[in-house]
Amino acid sequence: MVFIFDCDGTLVDSEYLNNRALSEILAEEGFPQYTPEKCLEFFTGFSLEDCLRSIKETHGAAAAFNDRDIIKRYTARTIANMERDLKIDPQTIPTLSHLHSLGIDMVVASNGEFEIVRETVWSAGLADFFPLRKIFTKDMVSYPKPAPDLFLFAIRKSQSMNAYCIVVEDSVPGVIAAKSAGLRVIGITGFAHDPIKRRKDLLAAGADYVIEKIEQLRDFVNHPQKNDAQIHTGFAKAQSK
């Protein structure tokens, strides 16, 4: 069995930090209307390239910034923010330890920049669970979430081809990507700005079940037959397209 975790907003409370960094940079480029709250609303779960593409499509020639420069500045600012302000649910490490003790494989599949995801995992104290060989990011595939490529790539590279897989995601693009890959998805809302709305959005996107806190995964793995029958989140066989 393998759990495929998203990183930002799922394992750590970093979505606001990331979007604050993006908001600051966009303001410097002449777009102060993209507040951190607006960035959260518009861009949660999408790759930075897709966010910048959306802004350029909206504003046309006025958005003549250099994507590489934005990504470089965003990466540096996000890492600096993380070192000061990154938060983690106190039950995350005990929960991951429990999953590990059961022999469950775990990997990260994130739409974030690899450097940022790596630093996030290390800063949060999760490197023992997710060494570099178990961190997969959008840089490694042609198409990020909501395309299924990243999840299919993670399955192949994690050597979990014959395992039953389930994705844990906090975003709509992530849920869509997982379902497109033929995987079951548990949505999580614990770090969402509006957990009630996020729950509705995740279910509408196709999540098989939604939890509030990561510690609820313990009940899932401890009672898989009950969960499969009662909440319809049984494990789907991993596909390897």
Question: pLDDT band for position 27 (50/70/90)?
Answer: very high
Of 148 and 229, which is predicted with more confidence? 148
> What is the percent of the chain where pLDDT is above 90?
79
Q: How confident is the model at residue 193 (pLDDT cuts 50, 70, 90)?
A: confident
Q: Report the C-alpha gap between 237 and 239 in whole angstroms.
A: 6
Digit-coded pLDDT (tens) for 100-123: 999 999 999 999 999 999 999 999
What integer pLDDT is reported at residue 224 of this predicted model?
55
Coil vs helix vs strand at 53: helix
pLDDT at 18: 93
Tell me the pLDDT tens digit for each residue of 112-168. Answer: 999 999 999 999 999 999 999 999 999 999 999 999 999 999 998 876 654 578 999
**With helix as H, strand as E and coil as C, how does 106-138 read?**
EEEEECCCHHHHHHHHHHCCCCCCCCHHHEEEH
Local structure of 72: helix, strand or coil: helix
Residue 241 has pLDDT above 70, yes or no: no
Mean pLDDT of the chain: 89
At residue 235, the pLDDT reads 40
4 phi and psi angles, rounded to 5 deg? -105, 110
Is 206 in contact with 186 (CB distance < 8 Å)?
Answer: no
pLDDT of residue 230: 38
The model's pTM is 0.88
What pLDDT shows up at residue 237? Answer: 37
Q: Which residue has the higher pLDDT, 239 or 186?
A: 186
- Give the span between the Cα atoms of 132 and 122, in whole angstroms: 10
Exposure letters 54-85 (e unless 16+ CB within 10 A, then b): ebeeeeeeebebeeeebeebbbebbbebbeee
- In the prediction, which pLDDT does 119 show? 94
Angle at 107 between CA 167 and CA 74, to 5 degrees: 95
The DSSP element (H or E) to which 4 belongs, if any, is: strand 2-5
CATH fourth-level superfamily of 2-13+87-237: HAD superfamily/HAD-like (3.40.50.1000)
